[in-house]
Structure 1
């Protein structure tokens, strides 16, 4: 597909008039020292078409019972900044979830969707793709999206200095501690299990994890122990689009001593009699 644009430069002086072949021409006119240049160039364009699929079972296939997604925005992200800017080619999907972008400049182009709240790309799919658009041709790009079933886990690991199990304002968070999701409940951070490190305030977070039950475990640092009566693991349930909290309180144990007397209780009364 061809688009045409003109470029005109004005200078002084009338000098010449010339033409060239293959739909390109150049005309130069000079009036007393003003030179006018008229140039036409051909722009090559193609089309990008596709469908937005409601992939409810997240299997990456458009099953018979799954519909298209109408009213979703797709655009040519010309500057690749992830935002639909003024002047960028865009369109809303129709009632069947289909779209057609026309006049797309030939070459590598990024085609991006604007996700709706509560939806995410299906497993193995993305919210944007780079395609090679050719003059006069149509490129097909489909977007598969599924309902976001994920939630989040967050919490704080803190120094329970007085051992009362209450997080007082003066009791600081513990930074650099490791917490992990113990999928096999063996109490050990195994390869493949998600882990996080607490920040300067002792805070940690696991974002966008699948909903369901989890066992969250802290790794107690040397020289510390958990507050008496509190475990180093928490069993929680993550719900869709919500955040579940699991906090951990620890303290540095204080050494004490035990003393007493051993005596011969001749009368068996359990009392130390006077000499």
Structure 2
């Protein structure tokens, strides 16, 4: 909205127009009655009352016309104002104004205002106390668009073709019977990117995907489909063209179809005998091979994060076929569909209070998808239970697990208010705990040094320390010991690390501010210096994750049709054995990751 879009600061002298001649001035006394004069509006140029315009669109030019005004009352003020009470997009706002002088008892006209892009509704025009109204039919910006999917079969055929993606699951064909259409329109779609994938169809090859539409929308062909980035107000039409395969007499056809649900990004590899050769497929993809009659085999290799659910082979002549022994006859088509499902992994842990190791309920733990350390809208989160426990069920991948800090606590593990990293690609299956310490007002009657051991793995291994104020002493992982001392200068070092452990850092911090070197700690009266020795033990799989928690991977135990990796301290309460024997004794790997958080309350 705006005020005084057109504001006439100086006097506007309007040349009167009579019978097509310009008149500089005219004075006819005694012909103007009280309250005489009338005005009307026209669009784009001047005109008589018969051309009065009451409807305008954005970009139109409003001209104010009038007659019967006494020049002795010059100048006359004029304005255009939005009607109040919601009738206008500019309620009570003057969008244009100025002043004008008339010359004699004749008609006059002048350009007053150009209708703006955000004008809409009723507007009132005033000239010297005389009024007129007009209405603007504003342009409503579109909020949705349309995607049209068309099927072109070469040649035309009654074969049904299936589609999946963000537009849903639907079928099209390209014949004349009308049972199925050869196109489908999806309207009222919000501006976004939509993936459309055509499922593999035996005997047909997807030979191309072509899209047309307005220039602001874009599209990118993918494996077996297209991604359309739709702009509101636009329509994009994508045509999927399929060509029927030609089979020579005496040859047969083997079609391998990969079914991975809605996943189209994962690549699955296959091994065949030397005649067919090895190949890879993406989800909802297929590979077709023409072969002479004979016996062939196809097997799917293990894909991390996926479990083979089934392999079904169908013969066009109703023969019994299996993927490891396809007996191909002349002109026979055998279609084998390999179906996989994504493995589910468990991330779990406990929220502890340092150093009591009591579980803390009511703490929010979340999966930080954008790695900014904050709980953002849409990110998966949970709250610790009465024992401080939490858990997430996730797919294969790498995750950042964080907590929402609470006042009165300081996070000890992981250090520096950090987050845990879980990478199932590194055989991640350890337990990690978040430790937070309840912070209290420093006791200035006590002078002390606190030695704290922080490890990325919960461990009972003993870490040895050499201090000049006491005999050698040991600490286990994620523990501490306090020593009340007199003011003075002290040193503390860690010696003889247990096998497999790496030294990460040593930091000594004073509660009076600043840091002290661990080999020369200047301790003042009433001061507390905390020395944190941080150690890391890499996981067996080369991974590990992010400061605090975790353990080396135990051997997985088979539970029914799943293989569950249990943390070192977790008992197996599963039911009996007996695994799923598909494609060479593949089974579902359930990675069980425990993470824990401990904070110190302030």
Tell me which interval the TM-score lies in, with the shorter structure as reference length. Answer: 0.3 to 0.5
Whose RCO is larger (CA < 8 A, sep 6+)? 1
TM-score normalized with structure 2 length: 0.20
TM-score normalized with structure 1 length: 0.39
Q: Flag the structure with larger Rg.
A: 2
> Which structure has greater strand proportion?
2
